[in-house]
Chain A
Amino acid sequence: KNQVEQSPQSLIILEGKNCTLQCNYTVSPFSNLRWYKQDTGRGPVSLTIMTFSENTKSNGRYTATLDADTKQSSLHITASQLSDSASYICVVSDGNNRLAFGKGNQVVVIP
């Protein structure tokens, strides 16, 4: 069964600090991996997308990495802002375009 596990489940960080979110997956065959940001009561918004051959992808203060050998990905948030408070969801697509969702990393940025 295709699974996506994210850690930590939740974390609180001070404004201006960095944090790293982890995603492990067992999806096979692998097509691509996306990180989404979901604000409370809103739909997910795509941050990054990586295919098998890509190791890192940046979008502003967000940097995602992918290790396809170990089936791990991370999302690094640099210089966090209050608006970064959200759930960050790791989504892996298999070769049939089916998506496997993680439960999300709940990030709370405090001043």
Chain B
Amino acid sequence: GAVVSQHPSRVICKSGTSVKIECRSLDFQATTMFWYRQFPKKSLMLMATSNEGSKATYEQGVEKDKFLINHASLTLSTLTVTSAHPEDSSFYICSARDIRAGTGRNNEQFFGPGTRLTVL
């Protein structure tokens, strides 16, 4: 259990285009999902916290108009990189928090496999 998927696993796009990345919790519900980006040999950096049914909370320095987050259901959050530029090329990872009490994994974040974005 506690599987999180991401789609696509990798994407190559032209500069100026928009790219949507999906994050799904497959076997549990997640009112909160998190979006991270990771540069080579660097730690994961939290970009934003996605809350189901409300606006996402962005970390300082992350442009909310550039990185659009939608969390329309308890199992799906999307990150849209708008007008992508080469400097947006990175590894994007989502995680989902299982909030169900009594599962033994209350509040634990489960990570997706990541999406490699390359902007040409």
Contacts and interface: CB of A to CB of B under 8 A. Distances in A.
Interface string B8-20: 0000000000000
Given A43-B93, A49-B108, A101 B114 contact: no
Interface string B79-102: 000000000000101010100000
B112 to A, nearest CB: 5
B111 A43 contact: yes
A86 B109 CA distance: 20
B114 A103 contact: no
> Interface size bucket, A side?
10 to 19
Interface string A91-111: 000000101011110100000
Contacts of A43: 4, 6, 93, 95, 111-114
B46 A106 contact: no
A82 interface: no
B54 interface: no
B108 A101 contact: no
Nearest to A102: B43
27 contacts: A4-B43, A41-B91, A41-B114, A41-B116, A42-B113, A42-B114, A43-B4, A43-B6, A43-B112, A43-B113, A43-B114, A44-B93, A46-B108, A46-B110, A89-B43, A89-B44, A97-B97, A97-B107, A99-B46, A101-B44, A101-B45, A102-B43, A103-B41, A103-B42, A103-B43, A104-B41, A104-B43
Interface of B: 4, 6, 41-46, 91, 93, 95, 97, 107-114, 116
B106 to A, nearest CB: 10
B50 to A, nearest CB: 14
A46 B110 CA distance: 8
Contacts of B108: 46, 49
Nearest to A10: B41
Contacts of B46: 99
